Structure 1
Amino acid sequence: MKNMNIEISYSSRKVSFNIPEKNLAGIIRPRETAAALNQSQIDLAISGSKTAEEFISIVQGKNLCILLPDGTRDLPIDKVLKALTALLDRPKHIRFMICTGTHDAETEQNKLIINQTASLMQKSGIKNFDIVIHNCDKAEFIDAGTTSRQTNVLYNAAIKDMDVFLALSDVKHHYFAGYSNPVKNFVPGLCAYKTAEGNHALSLDEHSRFGTHPWHRIKELQDNPLAADQVEAMEKIIDRRAFWAVVMLSTKGQIQWLDFGKAKEVAAEAFSKADEWNLYEVKQVERIIVSPGGTPNDIDLYIAQRALELTKQAIADGGEILFVSACDKGIGAERTMQHFWNLLTRPAEEVLATVRGGPYKLFSHKPLRFVELISRLRHLWLYSELDDETVRAGHLSPASNIQEIVDRWLRQKPDVKILAVDGANKLAIRAAKN
């Protein structure tokens, strides 16, 4: 019997295990259908694009605000900014905003982004810039009104005098916002905690799901209440100001595809490309091994959970998932603990009643999703750096050895089919219709 040796990402390294060829249902990773773009190709796609001249004319003598993702994302910011420098000698002033949303503002990763950005600008001879890290608690906020879905839009006053916005966005499927996309740089990226909470309450709506967005080119895939609320809130924030974006698909810090232009147009193109490359349809199986894709996507359980939400359609009821996620920084940021972890450690019935009964508290959609998934599984195993007692407290089953779990599955059912998924934070799986 031929064994297949499989490597998947874990923290900053790889871990491996063997599955007999006859038991392997498949290996799914983010598609690398194109070679990674080199710096010259990235430069050409931005400063050499047809839209570059229009962008230059728009930002000439204006205040340009460049919206950067925070340090929890693995977008290769330096490569994109290097390509943009050819266009950045025209604005009167440039303000870089690090869009943290409700994430911690003062982190080592965010400091690294500041240093990299400042160094690159200075080397390029650009001096008329500053860098601001968004803080959802301490920033000064402007009230832009309320959306039709009753989200109070409070945004960072640091962008009030900006004339043109340019977002950097690594587009991938998002389990309730449809896709990670340029709009999210504003909402929740630059909004108050209250705004994020109001918007994220819509994550409980079954239509808030991956692969859907109001900007999607396919009409049937435009219904997503949470994403629609984000778009409406963003429109209240920017009013008639120009909104441009550099959108890309990347994996492991390498850009496979990139476009530059007006945000709505290039985002729609990116959604189509993400669907083409990284949306999979599979028959449900009884066993799955899932890795979020290593650092930074598995640094804590709060962040890593996205990978489960994007792949759970592949698991049959009564099945088992082995979640391979280092969680070397623990459960999650301190601000998430009360309504995420502390709630998850309560009895399942209490979690369901608390979240579904409302009122919604930010982060509480996560324990709800965990409980809903666990309730239809035989086991949700977690191979991580967390101690066994902590893992069990969250209704998960600790795994100390990946191969032991695989061998256990094979003993229980010699013909069992096992699906392996790596880089699950950058893809999405739909269950094939019977």
Structure 2
Amino acid sequence: MSIIKLPYGKDFMEANIPDSRLNAVLESNMHYYKPKKSQEELVVEALENPIGTPRLKDIAVGKNKIIIIASDHTRPVPSKVIMPLMLEEIRRGNPNAEITILISTGCHRGTTKEELISKFGPKIVEEENIYVHDCLDESMLVKIGTLPSGGDLIINKLAVDADLLISEGFIEPHFFAGYSGGRKSVLPGIASRTTVMYNHNAEFIASDYARAGVIEGNPLHKDMLYAARAARLDFIVNVVINAQKEVVYAVAGDVDLAHIEGRNFLNSQCKVQSVPADIAISTNGGYPLDQNIYQGVKGMTAAEATVKEGGVIIMLAKSNDGHGGEQFYKTFQETEDLSKLMEGILATPREKTIPDQWETQILVRILLKNKVIYISDTSDEMIQDMHMIPAHSIEEALEKANEILGNKDGKITVVSDGVSMIVE
């Protein structure tokens, strides 16, 4: 019997799987990668050796209004490590700079003060100017151009008015943008809902190139990089983190060149080969990425890449915040026929994309091929409304999976952290 600990919220669940059924446990090498320097030393080294740009302290000279785009409460970016060093580097070159930290919520809800304190620590929240982006606040949005795909590029006014725009973030596999980080700070990070909707259209999401680890030919990435350039995002600090959310690698400099360097490192650690199985168990890596069902879809895509068609996906995501998207939830709640739902989504013009359509599209894609058993702390009714099967333990989920498959001997592949790996 193999006992496997899987992240769930801020804790773990144990899976007890007979050795005869266990195909493989897919893990990122990142879990075992040990940098030779501390988190702070890695970030400082990146700041001192930027890729494709001068040092941030030199770029900051003469710049009065400096905006630092930072991730929101849904991303485990170790800002307590990164942000103080970025602020120090800026003020080394320009002690009198007017600095604002712009929280890139994209289309998420606003980040609360408590969440800001958890993210940055009380000192930065008390002493620095922080503004939380709102994708619907027309008074704070400005059109700066047209995306390669044809959509309006509308972003936060603070970024447009900045003398210097920079960002912090982290790089991990992203289930349709290829990778997080870099250019995503602008689109979707500080873009208007109109712009995000157009970029996340059904045609792009359906592309075979809109997958984790894919950049070449990815239509969403093309728009995102263009948006970052158009917004004059001149400098980024991006990190790669381990399962403990600690910095193990850092890059700084040009929004594309530094990001490429970070992606190359990530690829060397997190690409794994799929091991097809009747049952695939996946997670979202625990808190803060498994707070709702919406985010949980990401971890399902890793299981999708290794489960046999007609098999069962068991997804662990605490989902203590519920569904994570009202329209996302209602679409499933009001739908009986998933095939017709998919037909409707694929027929939707780019400019008619609605909130959360992309997440709906990906979940429907998965559900049309596989049954999904969803382990969470949210209500069974909500899970059932979303055409999934509720469970509250791995043992219960496996029993239900056995019933669906009609046998107790189905092979199982475990994806220990579905958002930190590229399953090929």
TM alignment of 1:1-16, pairs within 5 A:
3-16=1-14
Q: Secondary structure at the residue paired with 1:22? A: coil
Equivalent in the alignment of 2:275: 283
Report how far residue 72 of structure 1 moved: 0.7
Q: Secondary structure at the residue paired with 1:350? A: helix
Q: Residues of 2 paired with 1:113 and 1:318: CA distance?
A: 42
Q: Secondary structure at the residue paired with 1:282? A: coil
TM norm structure 2: 0.89
TM alignment of 1:248-287, pairs within 5 A:
248-251=239-242, 252-287=244-279
Q: Residues of 2 paired with 1:246 and 1:169: CA distance?
A: 6
Q: Residues of 2 paired with 1:104 and 1:264: CA distance?
A: 28
Is contact 1:204–1:365 with CA below 8 Å preserved after alignment? no
Equivalent in the alignment of 2:101: 96
The aligned amino acid for 1:134 is H
Is contact 1:100–1:135 with CA below 8 Å preserved after alignment? yes
Q: Secondary structure at the residue paired with 2:345? A: helix
2:211 aligns with one of 209, 212, 229 = 209
Equivalent in the alignment of 1:367: 360
Is contact 2:79–2:119 with CA below 8 Å preserved after alignment? no
The aligned amino acid for 1:7 is K
Is contact 2:145–2:153 with CA below 8 Å preserved after alignment? yes
Equivalent in the alignment of 1:341: 329
Report how far residue 373 of structure 1 moved: 1.2
The aligned amino acid for 1:269 is E
Equivalent in the alignment of 1:315: 307
Q: Residues of 1 paired with 2:237 and 2:400: CA distance?
A: 47
| Residues 94 and 313 of structure 1, relative CA distance in 2, 3 Å threshold | same
The aligned amino acid for 1:419 is T
The aligned amino acid for 1:164 is L
The aligned amino acid for 2:105 is T
169-178 or 82-91, which moves further after superposition?
82-91
The aligned amino acid for 2:151 is T
The aligned amino acid for 1:137 is L
Q: Secondary structure at the residue paired with 1:344? A: helix
Q: Residues of 2 paired with 1:120 and 1:108: CA distance?
A: 12
CA RMSD for the aligned pairs? 2.3
| Residue-by-residue CA offset, 1:335-354 (whole Å, 9 max, x unaligned) | x312x111122021331132
Identity of aligned residues (%): 19
**Count of equivalent residues:** 406
The aligned amino acid for 2:395 is Q
Equivalent in the alignment of 1:70: 72
Equivalent in the alignment of 1:183: 183
| Residues 109 and 178 of structure 1, relative CA distance in 2, 3 Å threshold | farther
Report how far residue 135 of structure 1 moved: 0.8
| Residue-by-residue CA offset, 1:1-48 (whole Å, 9 max, x unaligned) | xx1111101111111121122321122233224225524523542454
TM alignment of 1:46-85, pairs within 5 A:
46-49=46-49, 54-62=55-63, 63-85=65-87
Q: Residues of 1 paired with 2:323 and 2:284: CA distance?
A: 15
Q: Secondary structure at the residue paired with 2:226? A: helix
Equivalent in the alignment of 2:388: 396
Equivalent in the alignment of 1:246: 237
Is contact 2:284–2:419 with CA below 8 Å preserved after alignment? yes
Is contact 2:147–2:223 with CA below 8 Å preserved after alignment? yes
Answering whether residue 164 of structure 2 is matched by residue 164 of structure 1, we say: yes
| Residues 182 and 50 of structure 1, relative CA distance in 2, 3 Å threshold | closer
The aligned amino acid for 1:119 is K
Is contact 1:313–1:429 with CA below 8 Å preserved after alignment? yes
Is contact 1:33–1:277 with CA below 8 Å preserved after alignment? no
Q: Residues of 2 paired with 1:192 and 1:50: CA distance?
A: 30
Q: Following TM superposition, where does structure 1 have runs of at least 4 consecutive aligned residues deviating by more than 6 angstroms?
A: 50-53
Answering whether residue 117 of structure 2 is matched by residue 119 of structure 1, we say: no
Equivalent in the alignment of 1:217: none
Equivalent in the alignment of 1:30: 28
Is contact 2:67–2:158 with CA below 8 Å preserved after alignment? no
Report how far residue 136 of structure 1 moved: 0.7
Equivalent in the alignment of 1:219: none
Report how far residue 109 of structure 1 moved: 5.2
Q: Residues of 2 paired with 1:302 and 1:277: CA distance?
A: 26
Equivalent in the alignment of 2:376: 384
The aligned amino acid for 1:357 is A
Is contact 2:181–2:259 with CA below 8 Å preserved after alignment? yes
TM norm structure 1: 0.87
The aligned amino acid for 1:97 is L
Q: Residues of 2 paired with 1:43 and 1:362: CA distance?
A: 36
